[in-house]
Amino acid sequence: MSEHSANPSAAAATGRPRAVKAVIPAAGLATRFLPATKAVPKELLPVVDRPVLQYIVEEAAQAGISDVLLITGRGKTSMVDHFDRRPDLEARLEEKGDEKTLAAVRRPSELAEIYTCRQPEQLGLGHAVGYAESHVGDQPFAVLLGDEFVNLSEPLLPAMLELQARTGGVVLAFFEVDPADTKRYGIASVEPAESELTDIGEVVKVTGMVEKPKPEDAPSNLAVLGRYVLPGKIFDAIRRTQPGSGGEIQLTDAMELLRTEGTPVHAIVYRGTRYDTGMPLGYLQTVVQIAAEREDLGAEFRKWLAEFVNSDASGGPNT
């Protein structure tokens, strides 16, 4: 393995452009979080005092992406309002001289240009991404799933964008799971990549992917994380992809089609912290971790949490 990839000149060296747009598919039905998500999109569930989706757009903005396409669906348009200005609210906060809240209210509208399109029927992640074609064209682009984000102090996306500019192929991210849990995730088979290393994790070459294998059938314990950087030709592959697992048009199947036709597929094995807010347990873990890290309320929250965990009420050690 040679030099690492977080090298801004990498794209220039290959002559390929780095992706500058992100797509956030957020049209799914969120059945794992019902009934909370019957009327409220899971992307708008709060993590402390901002919605999950804001953390995701922050992640894109931190990677230098300022053009974000949200794929929405029925009952989900309120997501877009969060990134709009609120002049009435801002005027009131200005009157009160509440600069801190004012900055927090303005922040989402300053992160990126937000565009939207609708997926009329929820026919799968691949199907949803297909709707981005007229916005993205034939350029590479990032896909960030709307219920997952990473710790911003351990950024993943910049390294993925650089790697994609160098390979021109598909770039994924993996995280390691307990081998007993492979049936909950898309799992990859991999081989070492030549001369690739990033700041944030090892780079591997992907030789195949299986959806939710039993532990005994799993080719590894590397699970697919909700970040992808894709070449524009994925749209043609999506069109050629038949419904797969669950009767849905799967992004995994479209990527597999490209791979078998010769497109290189690489992945970064991410060693940082990943937050999964797509179901109640992961969501609760996320809220607790982020709250505990917050400068403004972390110290008080951690103190309370330690007392709670040791108390009778929690069923903790004193019971």
Binding region for ligand UTP (CB under 6 A): 25-33, 71, 119, 122-125, 127-128, 145-147, 278
Give buried/exposed letters for 214-238 (b at 16+ CB in 10 A, else e). eeeebebbbbbbbbbbbbebbbebb
| CB-nearer residue toward ligand UTP: 93 or 142 | 142
Residue 150 forms beta bridges with which residues?
274
Q: Is 29 exposed, middle or buried (0-12, 13-18, 19+ CB in 10 A)?
A: middle
Q: Is 150 exposed, middle or buried (0-12, 13-18, 19+ CB in 10 A)?
A: buried
Smallest distance from ligand UTP to CB 169, Å: 22
Smallest distance from ligand UTP to CB 223, Å: 13
Smallest distance from ligand UTP to CB 73, Å: 7
| CB-nearer residue toward ligand UTP: 23 or 268 | 23
User: Angle 147-148-153 (CA atoms, 0-180°, nearest 5)?
Assistant: 145
Q: Is 190 exposed, middle or buried (0-12, 13-18, 19+ CB in 10 A)?
A: buried
| CB-nearer residue toward ligand UTP: 30 or 136 | 30
Smallest distance from ligand UTP to CB 269, Å: 21
Q: Is 130 exposed, middle or buried (0-12, 13-18, 19+ CB in 10 A)?
A: buried
User: Angle 177-31-224 (CA atoms, 0-180°, nearest 5)?
Assistant: 25
Smallest distance from ligand UTP to CB 92, Å: 33
Interaxial angle between packed helices 99-111 and 52-62, expressed in degrees from 0 to 180 and rounded to the nearest 10:
70
Smallest distance from ligand UTP to CB 43, Å: 7
* Integer Rg of the chain from CA: 20
Classify strands 141-144 and 222-230 as parallel, antiparallel or unpaired.
Answer: antiparallel
CA–CA distance, 171 with 169 (Å, rounded to integer): 6
Smallest distance from ligand UTP to CB 125, Å: 4
Query: From residue 16, how far is each of 104, 166, 173, 234, 268 by CA, in Å?
Result: 37, 7, 21, 17, 20
Smallest distance from ligand UTP to CB 13, Å: 34
| CB-nearer residue toward ligand UTP: 144 or 291 | 144
The residue nearest ligand UTP at its CB is 28
